[in-house]
Amino acid sequence: MISIRDVRKSYGGIRALSGCDLEIAQPGIYGLIGPNGAGKTTLFDVMTGVTEPDAGRVSIDGRDVTGWPAHRLAKAGVARTFQECRVFPEFTCLENLLFSNSNTEEARRLLQLVNLDKYAGEPAANLSFGQRRLLEIVGTFMGKPRVLLLDEPASGVNPALLELLLQFIRKMYEERPLFFLVVEHNMEFVMALASEIVVMHQGAVLERGSPQAIQASERVMEAYLG
């Protein structure tokens, strides 16, 4: 279980999170959407130890992990990607996956699932941006996380690779159900991927529900349109 209780974070006079509350009781694929500046990435930063909240509590399975450093949260099974694609371009695609887990057989299997197996021995610098994004996301699964936060995974990825990414995430969830939380501005992608959508606005959760309910919500429409 993931529990976010009254989490607050300000940067100077800007309130990025203003009493954010969110509970996720069971594994699943959850979309996290909202206008620019709604606090989505800041919430990820707080949950993964990148930044410490000014107030509030973050708990995983009843254990208070508020303020834990990123490396300690990673050992506890919390992994994430960032808006900026983070791979090691000078290392091969296979080497990029082996940093967190030396299981070469598993690394090759995952590369094959996203059609990157033919690039296993090539530097990641040789990949397109979309392929690098896939490589980064595949790498998070090598550590076998329990909680995985994906920050705009569809950004800069062409439609063909997006479909590949969609199928890959679904397969990973089928193999090993975990808590997926996906920040995304590509509405078509996130609505097709997530079983439940959480909408943030002005640093707090505005609404949550099925993709169909969120798409029909007047409150959500008003938040996006201002």
Residue 17 has pLDDT above 90, yes or no: yes
pLDDT at 225: 64
pLDDT at 3: 96
Read off the pLDDT of each residue in 55-84 and give the average, rounded to a whole number. 92
pLDDT at 179: 95
pLDDT at 1: 87
Cβ-based neighbour number of residue 224 at 10 Å: 14
Total-model pTM: 0.92
- Encode 180-217: b = buried (16+ Cβ within 10 Å), e = exposed: bbbbbebbebbbebbeebbbbbebbbbbbeebeebeeb
pLDDT at 226: 60
Compute the distance between CA of residue 60 and CA of residue 170 in angstroms, rounded to an integer.
23
pLDDT band at residue 156, thresholds of 50, 70 and 90?
A: confident
Residue 48 has pLDDT above 70, yes or no: yes
Read off the pLDDT of each residue in 88-117 and give the average, rounded to a whole number. 94
pLDDT at 206: 95
pLDDT at 40: 95
Q: What percent of the chain has pLDDT over 70?
A: 99
Give the mean pLDDT of the chain. 93
pLDDT at 83: 85
| Right CATH for 2-82+145-225 from 3.20.20.80, 3.50.50.60, 3.40.50.1820, 3.40.50.300 | 3.40.50.300
Maximum distance among all Cα pairs of the chain, rounded to whole angstroms = 51
Read off the pLDDT of each residue in 163-191 and give the average, rounded to a whole number. 94
